[in-house]
Structure 1
Amino acid sequence: MIRIKNAEFITSAVKQNQYPESVHPEVAFVGRSNVGKSTIINALTNRRKLAKVSNTPGRTRLVNFFLINGQAMLVDLPGYGYAKISKSDKAAWGKIIEDYIVNSPNLKRFVLLVDSRHKPTQDDIAMMDYLRYYEKDVVVIGTKLDKLKRNDIKKSEKLIRETLQMEKEEPLYLYSSTSKENLQQVIDLVFKDLLPEEA
């Protein structure tokens, strides 16, 4: 079991020369603008306001770095797929994400967040393909589990796996930031081999 004892905001960046100088392994969170990325980061770290939660999707335009237990970096990437932004903004966001993926030597894992209530979107599929292209370790988390009926959970897992063309052994958890269901499993999965386990 991995316990998160402290988490602190380090910096925000849009390009490589603004990234913090660090030797800590990094795990990056990515997903659609309204998937609940900030909410899950706050829940995992048990800090209500660590990542800013906005009622307006698409507000995060920066790469945000958070130091976890003084030993690993959680990196919050800009959300994608928000329809009400211009093409130039979309292109700029894509460049920010790509620059980070290509230029971060400490990047160990990606956490791809999808809405468990719906079939993954074309943007989700494109992001998964993109991460596979760079041969990154990818963990998929389905958010908003509390909004699903119990007998729809297995169907949702099956739909996510099929749509993202995931192998059986590729990790997938459905999670609720409201009920905290599967919270410890998600922490253990996200920070596996990056933070030490406690007996």
Structure 2
Amino acid sequence: MTRLNYHTARFIISAPTLALCPPDNGREVAFAGRSNAGKSSAINALTQQNALARTSKTPGRTQLINFFNVGGDDGRRLVDLPGYGFAKVPEKVKLEWQRHLAEYLQRRASLQGLMLMMDVRHPLSEFDEMMLGWADEQDMAVHILLTKADKLKPGAAKNSLLEVRRRLREWEDLVSVQLFSALKRQGLDEAQARLDSWLAEPA
């Protein structure tokens, strides 16, 4: 399988709605998760860049759909979706985010898979399950990164991984799960291999 150079990823555009996204061709992978799940840190770790995706002390700052190309090719994209569920924004704004997220996941033909970030200490929130439900409706493959794995002792982190796998057994044909730590660079190869499987052109 082709190995892509994620460190060459570059910002393309931010879009507030599906209608303003780049042309719906090529292949892309979306990153989603609660606003405090470490999504931006995961994207930066995977691309070996410090500030490709903006991290913030205030969760929920990502309010747009942000697109990045991979390998200088706009036909291969990483997509940073708005964080959900934790941000201190009006309920009306949250509902608007959810509508745009649902539209994107349901209608984006170039979307090959979903990287779903969950804090290893607080996995499978109501919003995580909502995202899994949308993905299931679309028969969309999901790879879960249990982030901040360095915050737990190895045994506790593994127990969390096994528990998430147990709870998602009914979706095991679509959903895979791994431990991940942006800080310790744990799980990068496994996550990049999953991205390769979605973004590399089929042989």
Aligned partner of 2:199 among 191, 194, 198 = 194
Query: Quick check: 1:26–1:106 contact (8 Å CA) kept in 2?
Result: yes
Q: Does 1:78 align with 2:109?
A: no
- 2:154 alignment partner in structure 1: 150
Query: Alpha-carbon deviation of 1:51?
Result: 0.7
Query: Alpha-carbon deviation of 1:130?
Result: 1.8
- 1:92 alignment partner in structure 2: 96
Aligned partner of 1:115 among 113, 119, 135 = 119
CA distance in 1 between counterparts of 2:198 and 2:60 reads: 31
CA distance in 1 between counterparts of 2:145 and 2:201 reads: 21
Aligned partner of 2:44 among 37, 42, 67 = 42
| Percentage of identical aligned residues | 35
Distance 1:21 1:28, change over 3 A: same
Aligned partner of 2:189 among 184, 190, 194 = 184
SS of equivalent residue, structure 1 residue 82 = coil
Query: Alpha-carbon deviation of 1:98?
Result: 1.5
SS of equivalent residue, structure 2 residue 62 = coil
CA distance in 2 between counterparts of 1:61 and 1:162 reads: 32
Q: Size of the alignment, in residue pairs?
A: 197
- 1:126 alignment partner in structure 2: 130
SS of equivalent residue, structure 1 residue 94 = helix
CA distance in 1 between counterparts of 2:191 and 2:199 reads: 13
- 1:103 alignment partner in structure 2: 107
Distance 1:54 1:64, change over 3 A: same
- 2:179 alignment partner in structure 1: 174
Unpaired segments of 5 or more residues in structure 1?
Answer: none
CA distance in 1 between counterparts of 2:126 and 2:20 reads: 31
Q: Deviations over 1:144-165 (max 9, x none)?
A: 0111101112211122223444
- 1:138 alignment partner in structure 2: 142
Query: Quick check: 1:119–1:159 contact (8 Å CA) kept in 2?
Result: no
What is the RMSD of the two structures over their aligned residues, measured on CA atoms? 2.0
Aligned partner of 2:70 among 68, 77, 81 = 68
SS of equivalent residue, structure 1 residue 34 = coil
SS of equivalent residue, structure 1 residue 72 = strand
